[in-house]
Amino acid sequence: MTYMYGLLHRGWQLLPHSLRRKAFNEISLRLAPRLDPAANCRNAPWIIVGALSASTGLGEAARLAVDALLAAGERVSSIDLTSALQHELSVPVRELARPQEGSGTILVFLNPPVSAMALRLIPERLLAGKHRIGCWVWEFEEAPSNWRAHAELFHKIVAPSRFAAAGIAKSIGQSVGLLPHPVAVSPIEIAQPGDRPFTVGIVGDVVAAADRKNALAAVQAFIHSGLKAGDARLVIHLHGQSPNAQPVQTLVDHARQSGFDIVISTGVRARSDTRLFYAGLDLYLSLHRAEGFGLTVAEAMLAGVPVVSTNWSATAEFVDHLVGYPVPYELVPSSGTVDDRRPHRWADPDIHAAAECIRAAFHDKAARQQRGRVARDRAEKLFSASEFMNWLQPNHD
């Protein structure tokens, strides 16, 4: 049996990627349990479903949802599908009570078509009578067209930003609720001035979203700022291990030879280490091309760090001149994504304008620190556990 499974698996891997994605989409839809229209009451207990042990954006969103519900005194349990979905187990999760049968609400923090497969993996006795909420995210102006059929498996679809909600709604043909990630529910160390050079930070992804996160442009902007060793330092962490990191590493090596102080690390960091990262910064830099939420930008703000951020997509909803330095951009055709090969648009941030923002933050310490204080206040308000619970109530639909 094992031998036969191995042959089937190898045969599957030999199929073109687009064909595999299409087949997986159709299979997951056919196997997913149909929606129970009678289970239309959103109430406790809450069950959080997702890849909770995975170092992914939606994995972190699921963990934050658990923390927010616990902070609000709600009854909450979780179903961790990390292993079932063949993700790496890289983040420890809370021990919670077992999910209970009967009424309640399930929040699935997985995008289609995986969200449909997740429903199939949940025992039928637990799924029966539950109100289903699909917690999805998308980074472009319109989600994939095949998401419409997946939306019919849920009573409600929500997204963490108005930008993402609009893109998903355009695809599925129905309203999408707003449910911002409760970033402020977890402790984070506040950035403090120290005996260090002016320090700028970047967190990028070189595995699934290297082009979209655009770490290379952020490094270029720092170099164009002209702030060399002794005056400033750039600290970079690239999430994951991939050949996609090589262009950034090559640029960093050349910059160091020209007198720039740049420190770079790669790999998967513990959640606590990631949150400590911001405490040593004076400025956070994100020249992303598109964001469905902007988790690292929100975390930097929560730590009291002003942000230089592309002024487009989800982050434009909470980053302005009071909390940071919005960077102008031009909308250009994007490269294709794994889930959707249709042409999209994304932002091409102005690297020279970003360099000017870095210089402005360096030269005006008082203004920079004022922005940091306002950033923290705003993040604490927008991304608190209480705000998460407010958005979760049915009257926000």
Q: Express each pLDDT in 89-101 by its tens digit.
A: 888 888 898 999 9
pTM of the model: 0.93
Higher pLDDT, 337 or 393: 393
Confidence of residue 38 (pLDDT cuts 50, 70, 90): confident
How do strand 198-205 and strand 177-178 relate by DSSP bridges?
unpaired
Assess contact for 289 and 309: CB atoms under 8 A: no
The Cα-based distances of 284 to 144, 190, 394 in angstroms read: 31, 13, 36
Q: Using CA atoms, how far apart are residues 370 and 383, in angstroms rounded to an integer?
A: 20
Higher pLDDT, 307 or 37: 307
Of the listed ranges 192-201, 266-275, 280-289, the one predicted with least confidence: 266-275
Confidence of residue 239 (pLDDT cuts 50, 70, 90): confident
Q: Using CA atoms, how far apart are residues 159 and 236, in angstroms rounded to an integer?
A: 29
Q: What is the mean pLDDT of residues 323-351?
A: 88
Per-residue pLDDT reduced to its tens digit, 14-28 = 666 667 778 888 888
The residue type of 331 is L
337, pLDDT greater than 80? no
Share of the chain above pLDDT 90, in %: 70
Higher pLDDT, 131 or 208: 131
Q: What does the block give as tokens for 120?
A: 């199939």
What pLDDT does residue 46 have?
96
Confidence of residue 5 (pLDDT cuts 50, 70, 90): very low
What are the structural domains, with CATH classification, of the chain? 12-179 (3.40.50), 198-382 (3.40.50.2000)
Give kind and range of the element (H or E) at residue 355. helix 351-363
What pLDDT does residue 192 have?
83
Largest Cα separation within the chain, whole Å, is 68
The count of other CB atoms within 10 Å of the CB of residue 16 is 8
In DSSP terms, 330 is beta-bridged to 348
Q: Using CA atoms, how far apart are residues 315 and 311, in angstroms rounded to an integer?
A: 7
In the block, tokens 């920079």 appear at 368
Confidence of residue 64 (pLDDT cuts 50, 70, 90): very high
Q: Using CA atoms, how far apart are residues 12 and 32, in angstroms rounded to an integer?
A: 21
Of the listed ranges 10-24, 284-298, 343-357, the one predicted with least confidence: 10-24
What pLDDT does residue 242 have?
67
The residue type of 108 is V
What pLDDT does residue 194 have?
77
Higher pLDDT, 16 or 124: 124
Q: Strands, DSSP E only, in the chain?
A: 46-50, 76-80, 104-108, 130-135, 156-159, 177-178, 198-205, 232-239, 262-267, 283-286, 307-310, 324-327, 329-333, 345-349
Assess contact for 182 and 66: CB atoms under 8 A: no
Higher pLDDT, 189 or 350: 350
What pLDDT does residue 387 have?
95
32, pLDDT greater than 70? yes
Per-residue pLDDT reduced to its tens digit, 164-183 = 999 999 999 999 999 999 99
- Going by C-alpha positions, the residue among 296, 302, 310, 273 that lies closest to residue 203 is 296
Confidence of residue 273 (pLDDT cuts 50, 70, 90): confident
Confidence of residue 111 (pLDDT cuts 50, 70, 90): very high
What pLDDT does residue 1 have?
40
Per-residue pLDDT reduced to its tens digit, 128-147 = 999 999 999 999 999 999 99
What pLDDT does residue 338 have?
59
* DSSP-derived secondary structure for 86-155: T----S-----PPP-SSSEEEEE---TTHHHHHHHHS-HHHHTTEEEEEE---SSSS--TTHHHHHTTSS
Per-residue pLDDT reduced to its tens digit, 354-378 = 999 999 999 999 999 999 999 999 9
Higher pLDDT, 306 or 16: 306
Q: Using CA atoms, how far apart are residues 341 and 331, in angstroms rounded to an integer?
A: 18
220, pLDDT greater than 60? yes
